[in-house]
Structure 1
Amino acid sequence: MTSAPLAAVTGAEGFIGSHLTETLVASGHRVRAMAQYNSFSSYGWLETLAPDVLEHVEIVLGDVRDPGSVRGLMEGADCVYHLAALIAIPYSYQAPHSYVDTNVTGTLNVLEAARSLGTPRLVHTSTSETYGTAQTVPITEDHPINTQSPYAASKAGGDRLADSYHASFGTPVVTLRPFNTFGPRQSMRAVIPTVIGQVAAGERTITLGDLRPTRDFTYVKDTARAFLAVGTGPAEQVVGRTFNAGTGGEISVGDLVALIGKVMDTALDVREDTERLRPAASEVMRLVADASRLTAATGWRPGHTLEEGLAHTVEFFRDPANLARYKTGIYNI
């Protein structure tokens, strides 16, 4: 009997990583999941997964900034999904060195381990923020890179390393560039959980930053399927390439708040908080994806509308046990 393929996931304890872990198990994989080492032995969102999922998951504590941790995670893996990253844009203004350590050096450690171990496939995670404000729409993978925050710059650095390892050493890397993913388990640093969390906690005056930017919001289950698609698709179709994952639709933050109010059947009053505004030249005003390359290579398409995804997210936050995990009354950076 052939054993199930082994997938290794960095950043598995996080929002997208925990959903990807579920998706991998559902598709027949064993998963070795790295959660960042901490003295509480916390496994993050992995602790909330169903027992029938966790029986196929080996959880290890480690850190992508440590080459030994990374190599131990990746030994014997058929595919490695590299999601570990510092992701909050506001905090990147305060701690840019930390972002380089994790998002650049951490990625280098993953690439070096893949090169040394002969890992059959490595899926590297990028971000739509590397494009900056859209110069042409929809945004294809050939759009210029314009990093408007230290976070975006650190992710672009990791992307360039991934490209260079494929070109220099033949490392079988594929890069997935998700646009704005949302859904259950997302942190309050993102706009959708910020709004839904405040409403679920009883607030009717919502505090946000700039309401003008537009984003292409993709439900997390669809993003997880995009990772699986490039991790298991034919090598000749995906290896050495970068793929956008998004819906092709866009909505402004202001219109999004109104839609959330509709889904939650609640009238909302929005107040702008200057503390939540990005520096003027750092704000990305428009992002909307062209994911046709991913569809052509793998057949992936989003399976949820924005309203459907919001309804699932609202259901999650309305569960008192879930809401209790969040600090809805402060600005989470």
Structure 2
Amino acid sequence: MKKILVTGADGFIGSHLTEALVLAGYDVKAFTFYNSFNSWGWLDRTDKKILKEIEIFPGDIRDYNGVKTAMTGCDAVLHLAALIAIPFSYHSPATYVDTNITGTLNIVQAAKDLGIDKVVHTSTSEVYGSALFVPITEEHPLQGQSPYSASKIGADQIALSFYRSFETPVAVIRPFNTYGPRQSARAVIPTIITQLLNGKTKIKLGALTPTRDFNYVSDTVNGFIKILKSDSSVGEVINVGSGFEISIGDTAKLIAKCMNLDIEIESDEQRLRPKKSEVDRLLADRSKAERLTGWVPQFGNLDGFEKGLRNTIDWLSSSQNLAMYKSHIYNL
């Protein structure tokens, strides 16, 4: 499988994945979100030597004709295009259904029609909701605790239904909380770091007690590539997580330690999820990923998490990068 289409290639994980595929020798087509600014998102910041190897296809994942046209001639599709911000899903849930569910339907329908060799569909650990048991295996019940997570549950089931109904070769990767350079400010780690880099010592956060299984972006990217290459992944849902959990409050303290700062945390009501919507605990069982694909995280455990945070802090400390973040406002 040499010709790969990456949807959502202009985003955080997608841009890192696109670059990694080029460096691994794949012929890559990047599906970016069409806009009047001719912006390719984070790919605009890609090294020119890598960028010249990428075929850019601007389009809209909600449009079947554009999706099928982009997929024509490709061997495999890594489908990352999605709306992902949980707070915005409370505000505009219909957009999540259109993008996440209809967009995924377009991908698997075109894969069936074109005879694509492999589709890797991107899920999220949010589909599990608050952990009923830990570590969370792929058999954990699915709980739609936000319109976002409900839309991803729907998208996952659409993708898997095409495998079961038509033998479309679909694998589902279920990343836990990915972080690292280029992550948007609607996520907690860049929210903390950018506030501190802009001179704040009293930082605004939502709930502090929920725990997360943070996965450094290069580990997530490697998970995609391992699943792409694994024949055993077809028809399977596969967790990609570090197997290490830490609370949001302790994450903030660890970031402050890495930056040699003393901080005070202020609760911001608008950053709190509705009570029944908050996911209180996430901790991945990653044994299936290792068994089927050989994937293991390089940034697991507390030491690995601190290393990943330092990489992220270093990247955000660049004035050019920091200028892209509006830390004084709350991003939905």
Common fold, TM-score beyond 0.5? yes
Which secondary structure does the structure 2 equivalent of 1:271 belong to? strand
Corresponding residue of 2:283: 288
Which secondary structure does the structure 2 equivalent of 1:314 belong to? helix
Corresponding residue of 1:322: 321
Question: Equivalences for 1:259-274 in 2 at 5 Å?
Answer: 259-274=254-269
For residues 108 and 276 of structure 1, what CA distance do their matches in structure 2 show?
32
Tell me the alpha carbon deviations over residues 275-296 of structure 1, each in whole angstroms, 9 at most, x when there is no partner: 1000000000000000110101
For residues 316 and 6 of structure 1, what CA distance do their matches in structure 2 show?
31
* Structure 1 residue 68, shift from structure 2 partner: 1.1
- 1:255 correspondence with 2:250: yes
Corresponding residue of 1:52: 49
For residues 55 and 201 of structure 2, what CA distance do their matches in structure 1 show?
42
Amino acid corresponding to residue 268 of structure 2 in structure 1 = D
* Structure 1 residue 268, shift from structure 2 partner: 1.0
- 1:331 correspondence with 2:326: no
Which secondary structure does the structure 1 equivalent of 2:309 belong to? helix
Amino acid corresponding to residue 270 of structure 2 in structure 1 = E
Corresponding residue of 1:171: 168
Which secondary structure does the structure 1 equivalent of 2:239 belong to? strand
Which secondary structure does the structure 1 equivalent of 2:143 belong to? coil
For residues 197 and 30 of structure 2, what CA distance do their matches in structure 1 show?
31
Which secondary structure does the structure 2 equivalent of 1:47 belong to? helix
- 1:79 correspondence with 2:94: no
Corresponding residue of 1:119: 116
Corresponding residue of 1:239: 234
Corresponding residue of 1:38: 35
Unaligned 5+ runs, structure 2: none
* Structure 1 residue 79, shift from structure 2 partner: 1.2
* Structure 1 residue 113, shift from structure 2 partner: 0.4
For residues 71 and 48 of structure 2, what CA distance do their matches in structure 1 show?
24
Corresponding residue of 2:135: 138
For residues 38 and 278 of structure 1, what CA distance do their matches in structure 2 show?
31
RMSD of equivalent CA atoms: 0.8
- 1:62 correspondence with 2:53: no
Which secondary structure does the structure 1 equivalent of 2:328 belong to? coil
For residues 197 and 11 of structure 2, what CA distance do their matches in structure 1 show?
22
* Structure 1 residue 17, shift from structure 2 partner: 0.2
Amino acid corresponding to residue 166 of structure 2 in structure 1 = F
* Structure 1 residue 26, shift from structure 2 partner: 1.5
Amino acid corresponding to residue 294 of structure 2 in structure 1 = G
Amino acid corresponding to residue 84 of structure 1 in structure 2 = A
Tell me the alpha carbon deviations over residues 133-169 of structure 1, each in whole angstroms, 9 at most, x when there is no partner: 0000000000000110000000000000111100000
For residues 60 and 41 of structure 1, what CA distance do their matches in structure 2 show?
11
Tell me the alpha carbon deviations over residues 65-109 of structure 1, each in whole angstroms, 9 at most, x when there is no partner: 000110111111111000000000000000000000000000000
Amino acid corresponding to residue 142 of structure 2 in structure 1 = I
For residues 233 and 124 of structure 2, what CA distance do their matches in structure 1 show?
18
Corresponding residue of 1:307: 306
Match of 1:217 among 199, 214, 217: 214
Provide the aligned length of Structure 1 versus Structure 2. Answer: 328
Amino acid corresponding to residue 322 of structure 1 in structure 2 = N
For residues 24 and 239 of structure 2, what CA distance do their matches in structure 1 show?
22
Match of 2:205 among 205, 208, 221: 208
- 1:18 correspondence with 2:7: no
Amino acid corresponding to residue 278 of structure 1 in structure 2 = R
For residues 24 and 294 of structure 2, what CA distance do their matches in structure 1 show?
16
**Paired-residue identity, %:** 53
Unaligned 5+ runs, structure 1: none
- 1:156 correspondence with 2:153: yes
Which secondary structure does the structure 2 equivalent of 1:112 belong to? helix
